[in-house]
Amino acid sequence: MSKILKCHPGIGDKTEGIVLCANDNFSARYDLDRIKGVFSRPQHKLFGKSYKNKILVLNESKGGVASAWMLYEMKIRDVVPKAILFNKANTILAQGAAHANLTMCDRFIDGDITSLLKTGDKVIVDPSEGYIEII
Amino acid sequence: MHLNDEEKSMLNGDFGKAKKWALEHQIKVGNFFSASKFVNVSQAHMMVDPESIGQAGVIFLEDLVNKGAKVSIPTITDPRGVDLNYYKPLGQTEEMAEIDRRTNKACISMGIIMTDTCVNYQTIMPPVYGEHVAYGDTGVVIYSNSVCGARSNFEGGPSALAAGLTGRTPDYGLHLDKNRLPTKRFCVKYQPKDLTDWGILGAIIGKQLGSYWEVPIVEALEVVPNSDEMKHLGAAMASYGSTPLFHLHNITPEAKNLKIEQFDNLDLIDINSSDFESLKSLFGRKGDKIDVVVFAAPQLSIVEMQKVASLSKDKSFKVPVIVCTSPQVYADSLRMGFIEKIENSGAKVLQGTCFYQQYAREIGEANGWKKLLSNSTKIVNILGGYGYTPALASMENCILGAVKGEIV
């Protein structure tokens, strides 16, 4: 049986995919090997995991402004998550998603999205309507 | 979002395709953050280093140029990724340099001033109290908000460029009074002694905040930090916490308008010397071998350059030492003889770059650099993800470490 989780209206197109989830924060510059498409920061809970085509679910966005350009560059090379879901996005990641037309949502009504989802879940993300559906 | 007549015309394409793109981008961002309108900004500062933008970003910029893009307010740039006078010795490639050259050309065509600095608040035109700006570089934003009392969100490259083109930005986040009030209180029980200590204090606070939307007020500081100390405090806090604003009780301008009793409901978190030691312990131990020493992040001020020059006098470095500063400070340092003194010891001063923004992974691999020592609490936070084992020490001990080839 599917379950709906409501959030603030987001950015990008409706999409679906498999969740890669951790209660950790995110910066494209600090945490990723963007060429290989894996988390490269040894301290990150997703260290060594591939994020390509995943629905990436993390706590908050962190760190520097570089992520805004980087999301676009990752999207053009097609080594990019299908969507990113945060408890709270910072301005940079939202701006980067807007520029890259990458699906992004945050501010989930039911609580901590990193607890509500787990790696391997299959979900539909609808940013325009502001919800995700676990299927 | 409410649009005025001029904004409706921009969206309609009456001001050209470039401004139409810019306003559409800004509306997407504004809607995400529930902005009700735009606010005019007086300056934009764009991060546009080649590692971040890649080929895709350059093509995007060149396309904007072809659409007639011209900035409408003073728009300046963050550090570049390549010092075009010194890139091959670092192991940077022609391809990297070419992305940088094309970026420069596209930006200049749009009327952007290539300041190539993350210390524009020390060298170019510091914003003033209450001034709304659209700045990139987290260190620039946190300093401008906190020390100058200006108003800016973290504006990533595309958004800073959009603000430069339209002369406005969505009115959300740090542009609004309600988001500038303290949400956490910190009481400093150990007084910072040098630049690295100020960075460590920023890191300790940033780690506990962990969110763009938290604002700290720091109490019980017994000294007023100078501009370089504020720079390291803010840069580290923004790096570890994604924090865009801090208040120092009785010191920073907006804190002077706050009555601390209003925030009695917030827990007061003590910061002790043990917190400083705990943070330091994450980054290297005495006797660890080092491959490279870096002074950067943020770029060095003229005062820091003088100190590095003084400490380097009559020294001979066993490992490479890289010093990054702005083109403005470089010129003054050259005139004052600081560059010569630093480079006579075997170091290299780069202008207009910052180490972590210049293909740090690739130059590390090209030179066999893994163990990196710096006095920047910010840079040691970043470079772990780039394949380095970073270590932290004071400026003095970084110099001594470079002489000995190990952490002293």
Q: Which of A45, A58, A65, A87 best tests the B interface by mutation, with the highest count of B CBs <10 A? A: A65
Asked whether residue A115 carries a pLDDT value surpassing 90, the answer given is yes
Q: Cβ contact (<8 Å) for B54 and A73?
A: yes
User: What is the mean predicted confidence (pLDDT) over B14-21?
Assistant: 98
Q: Which of B28, B55, B80, B242 best tests the A interface by mutation, with the highest count of A CBs <10 A? A: B242
The pLDDT assigned to A112 comes to 97
pLDDT band at B317 (very low <50, low <70, confident <90, very high): very high
The pLDDT assigned to B346 comes to 97
User: What is the mean predicted confidence (pLDDT) over B381-406?
Assistant: 95
The pLDDT assigned to B260 comes to 86
Asked whether residue A1 carries a pLDDT value surpassing 80, the answer given is no
Do residues B50 and B326 touch, judged by C-beta distance below 8 A?
no
Residues 6+ away with beta carbon under 8 Å from B262: none
Q: Which residue of B has its CA nearest to A127?
A: B32
User: What is the Cα–Cα distance from A11 to B200, expressed in whole angstroms?
Assistant: 36
Portion of chain B with pLDDT greater than 70, in percent: 100
> Would you state the structure tokens that stand for residue B320, as one six-digit string?
């490479």
Among the partner residues B32, B48, B56, nearest to A72 by beta-carbon distance: B56
pLDDT in tens, A6-15: 999 999 999 9
User: What is the Cα–Cα distance from B352 to B78, expressed in whole angstroms?
Assistant: 8
User: What is the Cα–Cα distance from B37 to B170, expressed in whole angstroms?
Assistant: 6
pLDDT in tens, A84-107: 999 999 999 999 999 999 999 999
Asked whether residue B210 carries a pLDDT value surpassing 90, the answer given is no
pLDDT in tens, B278-292: 999 999 999 999 999
Asked whether residue A63 carries a pLDDT value surpassing 80, the answer given is no
The pLDDT assigned to A71 comes to 95
Kindly report the nearest CA distance between residue B186 and chain A, in angstroms: 21
- The whole-angstrom distance between residue B164's C-alpha and the CA centroid of its chain comes to 19
pLDDT in tens, B241-295: 999 999 999 999 999 989 888 899 998 999 999 999 999 999 999 999 999 999 9
Residues 6+ away with beta carbon under 8 Å from B231: B119, B122, B139, B143, B298, B301
Q: Cβ contact (<8 Å) for A91 and B29?
A: yes
Among the partner residues B57, B137, B361, nearest to A73 by beta-carbon distance: B57
CA atoms within 13 A of residue B21's CA, in its CB half-sphere: 22
Structural domains for chain B: 5-170 (3.30.499.10), 181-280 (no CATH), 292-404 (3.30.499.10)
B86–A contact, CB cutoff 8 A: no
The pLDDT assigned to B385 comes to 82
Kindly report the nearest CA distance between residue A94 and chain B, in angstroms: 7
The pLDDT assigned to B177 comes to 97
User: What is the Cα–Cα distance from B361 to B356, expressed in whole angstroms?
Assistant: 9
Taking contacts as CB-CB distances below 8 angstroms, the residues of chain A near B385 are: 29-33, 40-41, 44
Among the partner residues A61, A69, A98, nearest to B25 by beta-carbon distance: A98
User: What is the Cα–Cα distance from B55 to B57, expressed in whole angstroms?
Assistant: 5
pLDDT in tens, B318-329: 999 999 999 999
> Would you state the structure tokens that stand for residue A117, as one six-digit string?
């989802």
b/e burial code for range B21-43 (CB count within 10 A of at least 16 → b): bbbebbbbbbbbbebeebeebeb
CATH class of A3-134: alpha beta
- Give the pairing type, strands B168-170 and B184-188: unpaired
Q: Cβ contact (<8 Å) for B211 and A92?
A: no
Q: What is the mean pLDDT of chain B?
A: 97
pLDDT band at A64 (very low <50, low <70, confident <90, very high): confident
Site of tokens 């470490």: B401
Q: Let me know the angle formed at the C-alpha of B49 by B378 and B291, rounded to the nearest 5 degrees.
A: 50
pTM over 0.90: yes
* SS3 (DSSP) at B70: coil
The pLDDT assigned to B384 comes to 86
B54–A contact, CB cutoff 8 A: yes
Among the partner residues B49, B137, B154, nearest to A90 by beta-carbon distance: B154
> Would you state the structure tokens that stand for residue A68, as one six-digit string?
């805004």
User: What is the Cα–Cα distance from B190 to B40, expressed in whole angstroms?
Assistant: 41
b/e burial code for range B367-385 (CB count within 10 A of at least 16 → b): eebbbbbbbbbbbbbbbbb
Kindly report the nearest CA distance between residue B202 and chain A, in angstroms: 13
Q: What is the mean pLDDT of chain A?
A: 95
pLDDT band at A2 (very low <50, low <70, confident <90, very high): confident
